[in-house]
Amino acid sequence: MKIEYSNNLKSIPPYAFAEISRKKKALREKGKDLVDLGIGDPDLPTPKGIVSAMSDAINDSSTHRYPMDAGRPDFRQAWADWCKKRFGISISASDVQATLGSKEGLCNLARAFVNPGDKVLVPDPGYPGYANGACLLSGGIPVKMPLLEENGYLPDLSAINASDAKDAKLMYINYPNNPTGAVADKAFYSDVVDFAEENEVIIVSDLPYSEIYFDKKNKPISFLEVPGAMDVGIELHSFSKTYNMTGWRLGSAYGNPEIVAALSKVKENIDSGVFEAVQMAGIYALTNYPEAPALDEYNKRMDTLVAAFNDIGIEAKKPPATFYLWAKVPAGETSASFVNKVMEAANVVLTPGTAFGEYGEGYFRASITSPSERIIEAAERIRNLK
């Protein structure tokens, strides 16, 4: 039988990281010691307290049945309380939906709003989930909003052409930003609210990095903090990056009640919610860790990475947030040529900017999800290349 994929599935380009994974595997098979600064997955374990809370919860057999679709009431209340404390925003627990991480929420949300041929505004460079898992898999057409260094990696809303703006159903924004490390301020978010109202575009704010910041007196904000945002948008958060819980699959969606309800309806028809023991571990995390447990370690590592790269002549500034350093490749190189050279000759894994879209050309991303000694080792190896 001829197996024919749907047009939506066929429209998704090959996974940008597949080529890198292949090369990594080949080098490891040759016995090479790779320093991997390529991945966006915390290397530190989930804190013991959260693991113990999970252990208690899983020993309680009441957690073993199908979860309530939208999430446990105590989980949703804990999320609403956390948002009040952290961002000063008032959300009712009934307008919170537990998700299987932010990726699931942002992808399933598109099923609720995108008809075939509808446009979706996505950042470039950007997390590939917006254009692929969300937009293309729902039959939409991604329209790129370039994130340029000279604009602080914020999209220029006035540069979006009028017909794209009118035809767009959703706009994805993500600050603190993967891959650039940029943050957004209230002035930008207010402009986004105006744009959304004018063009009737739903705003999806993907916020998994709000707790990975380097200036404790100037923390990243939520989109929902600005007036009008609750009318036009939804925010997606995650336990993955804050609490080193990527494997657990826990996140939350909150904001405009009608938009949250649409996501809930999609989820009711696809998954049956988040394992309740995981939600209970999530409540423990929210109520016991006033900041990301790895924050001070990340701060040290980022200083080490920036200093080491500057030392070998790579221009890079410490970002305000995220565990990524976004930097220009040396003159005369492309993203791919530099990343390949560093991988093959220095056995250091970086991510080419082009893995996040065409506007990532000329840049690479290095993550601090390896210990400081390994980061220094990586910089030394790159220095010896030159």
276 near ligand PLP, judged by CB under 6 A? no
Q: Which is nearer to ligand PLP, 180 or 347 (CB)?
A: 180
Burial of 25 (0-12, 13-18, 19+ CB in 10 A): exposed
103 near ligand PLP, judged by CB under 6 A? yes
174 near ligand PLP, judged by CB under 6 A? yes
Q: Which is nearer to ligand PLP, 199 or 210 (CB)?
A: 210
HEC secondary structure over the chain: CCCCCCHHHHCCCCCCCHHHHHHHHHHHHCCCCCEECCCCCCCCCCCHHHHHHHHHHHCCHHHCCCCCCCCCHHHHHHHHHHHHHHHCCCCCHHHEEEECCHHHHHHHHHHHHCCCCCEEEEEECCCHHHHHHHHHHHCCEEEEEEECHHHCCCECHHHCCHHHHHHEEEEEECCCCCCCCCCCCHHHHHHHHHHHHHHCCEEEEECCCCCCECCCCCCCCCHHHCCCHHHHEEEEEECCCCCCCHHHCCEEEEECHHHHHHHHHHHHCCCCCCCHHHHHHHHHHHHHCCCCCCHHHHHHHHHHHHHHHHHCCCCCCCCCECCEEEEECCCCCCHHHHHHHHHHHHCEECEEHHHHCHHHCCEEEEECCCCHHHHHHHHHHHHHHC
351 near ligand PLP, judged by CB under 6 A? no
CB 17 to ligand PLP: min, Å: 13
Figure out which of the listed residues 178, 205, 242, 304 binds ligand PLP, where binding follows CB under 6 A.
Answer: 178
102 near ligand PLP, judged by CB under 6 A? yes
**Using CB atoms, what's the residue nearest to ligand PLP?**
101
Q: Identify which range of 78-86, 95-103, 144-152, 267-275 contacts ligand PLP by CB under 6 A.
A: 95-103
Figure out which of the listed residues 108, 240, 256, 335 binds ligand PLP, where binding follows CB under 6 A.
Answer: 240
234 token code pair: 């939804």
Residue 112 CA to residue 203 CA, distance in Å, equals: 13
Q: Which is nearer to ligand PLP, 165 or 349 (CB)?
A: 349
Figure out which of the listed residues 251, 273, 293, 360 binds ligand PLP, where binding follows CB under 6 A.
Answer: 251
Of the CA atoms within 13 Å of residue 364, those in its CB half-sphere come to: 28
Q: Which is nearer to ligand PLP, 46 or 199 (CB)?
A: 46
Q: Which is nearer to ligand PLP, 102 or 199 (CB)?
A: 102
User: Contact 114/266 with Cβ under 8 angstroms?
Assistant: no
Figure out which of the listed residues 101, 293, 352, 357 binds ligand PLP, where binding follows CB under 6 A.
Answer: 101
Q: Which is nearer to ligand PLP, 205 or 304 (CB)?
A: 205
Figure out which of the listed residues 63, 222, 238, 242 binds ligand PLP, where binding follows CB under 6 A.
Answer: 238
242 near ligand PLP, judged by CB under 6 A? no
Q: Identify which range of 89-97, 99-107, 193-201, 285-293 contacts ligand PLP by CB under 6 A.
A: 99-107
244 near ligand PLP, judged by CB under 6 A? no
40 near ligand PLP, judged by CB under 6 A? yes
CB 72 to ligand PLP: min, Å: 18
180 near ligand PLP, judged by CB under 6 A? no
How many residues contact ligand PLP, by CB under 6 A?
13
Residue 192 CA to residue 229 CA, distance in Å, equals: 8
Q: Identify which range of 154-162, 238-246, 252-260, 378-386 contacts ligand PLP by CB under 6 A.
A: 238-246
User: Contact 296/305 with Cβ under 8 angstroms?
Assistant: no
Figure out which of the listed residues 36, 95, 206, 235 binds ligand PLP, where binding follows CB under 6 A.
Answer: 206
246 near ligand PLP, judged by CB under 6 A? yes
User: Contact 90/229 with Cβ under 8 angstroms?
Assistant: no
CB 251 to ligand PLP: min, Å: 5
47 near ligand PLP, judged by CB under 6 A? no
Q: Which is nearer to ligand PLP, 260 or 346 (CB)?
A: 260
The residues binding ligand PLP (CB under 6 A) are 40, 101-103, 127, 174, 178, 206, 208, 238, 240, 246, 251
